[in-house]
Structure 1
Amino acid sequence: MKGFKISTRFIARAAVIAAVYTVLTMALQSISFGPIQFRIAEALTVLPFADAAAIPGVALGCLFANLGSPLGLVDILGGSSITLISAYLTYKAPNRYVALLPPIVLNAIGVPIYLAPAVGQPYWLVAVQVGMGQLVVIAVLGLPILSLYERIISRFPIKD
């Protein structure tokens, strides 16, 4: 069973992940919001599998990034909550491939609840669009990022 304790290093790793997530989303804002989105920062949502500090890291990064969302408070709270839950489930995943599923599935199911009415499209259509965007970003970028992160932390073990 994985465990973690909160230390200065834990907070620093979470802060760096949150900052990277926020900057990536804001720098690529044109493709980060809307029903057809490829939020590149979502590739970081698989990091909780390797490091518990990524749970608050990606959740806070999403919250800060969504401060710039055209949907306002509903996306700030909704998107951040979905990301927090999916990060925890990713952390608990039994293997790296199952770890890819929570951010894909939960975003595809949850985000369209508030996004579909805002864009005037049917729930199912927005669910497919968001899910496909998540699948592409997480499968293409997330898995290699997870592998790289695991290699880095194996060379520089985390000592919280």
Structure 2
Amino acid sequence: MKQSQRAQYLAQGAMIGAIYMVLTLLAALANLAYGPVQFRFSEALTILPIFTPAAVPGLAVGCLLSNIWSGYGAADMVFGTSATLLAAICTRMVRNIRINKIPILAPLPPVLFNAVIIGIEIAVFSAEGFSWIGFWGAALSVGLGELVICYGLGLPLAAALQKLGKKRKIF
């Protein structure tokens, strides 16, 4: 990788991470970023690995920094970041699976990884301790929030970026 390409990769990743963090903290102001009910606007950005590999570390770092303010502390920094990193890698892997040029599977990895991993985290760290009912409740709640954001905001964002990229020959 040439030095200019490396610089571009780092700049893209840093920018994505910073935007992810800012959007997460804005959602936190509305009490929507942490806990069993999550509608992180930043999760719409999880679609970005279809456009650039720099989004994979960018999203992970943005999530790590965002989770500093989580009520789950270091656990959320580890588990939340892991969920985001795994989801970003898988999103990158399915980027070319399209229906009518729409990357229909790309928003699915964040939904699944966050539902399972964050569902486990919330159930394990609940005041009552782990229970399967607690896990399924948290997993469904987090997964539904992810589904709404990733498909409702992320997929339209991908379509807009694709259209912009074609006009400006970015992608």
Would you call these one fold, judging by a TM-score over 0.5?
yes
Contact 2:47 2:91 in 1 (8 A): yes
Q: Considering only aligned residues, what root-mean-square deviation do their CA atoms show, in Å?
A: 1.7
The runs of 5 or more residues in structure 1 that have no matched partner are none
1:75-154 equivalences in 2 (<5 Å): 75-93=76-94, 94-95=97-98, 96-119=103-126, 120=128, 122-154=134-166
Indicate conservation of the 8 Å contact 1:47/1:149, yes or no. no
Task: Please give the per-residue CA displacement for 1:21-47, whole angstroms capped at 9, x wherever unaligned.
Answer: 000111220101110110110110011
Equivalent in the alignment of 2:11: 12
Q: Determine if contact 2:27/2:39 at 8 Å carries over to the other structure.
A: no
Deviation at 1:52, TM superposition (A): 1.1
Greater than 6 Å deviation, 4+ residue runs: none
Q: 1:66 to 1:6 in 2, by over 3 A?
A: farther
Aligned identity (percent) is: 37
Deviations 1:125-151 (A, max 9, x none): 101000100000111100111122223
Aligned to 1:69: 70
Amino acid at match of 2:147: L
1:157 is aligned to: 170
Unaligned runs of 5+ in 2: none
Larger relative contact order, structure 1 or 2 (CA cutoff 8 Å, min sep 6): 1
Distance 1:99 1:68 in 2: 28
| Pair member with larger Rg | 2
In structure 1, give the amino acid aligned to 2:65.
F
How far off its partner does 1:87 sit? Answer: 0.2
Deviation at 1:7, TM superposition (A): 1.3
Q: Normalising by the residue count of structure 2, what TM-score does the alignment of the two structures yield?
A: 0.84
Structure 1 residue 6: deviation in Å?
5.6
The answer as to whether partners of 1:56 and 1:84 remain within 8 angstroms in 2 is yes
Count of residues in correspondence between the two structures: 154
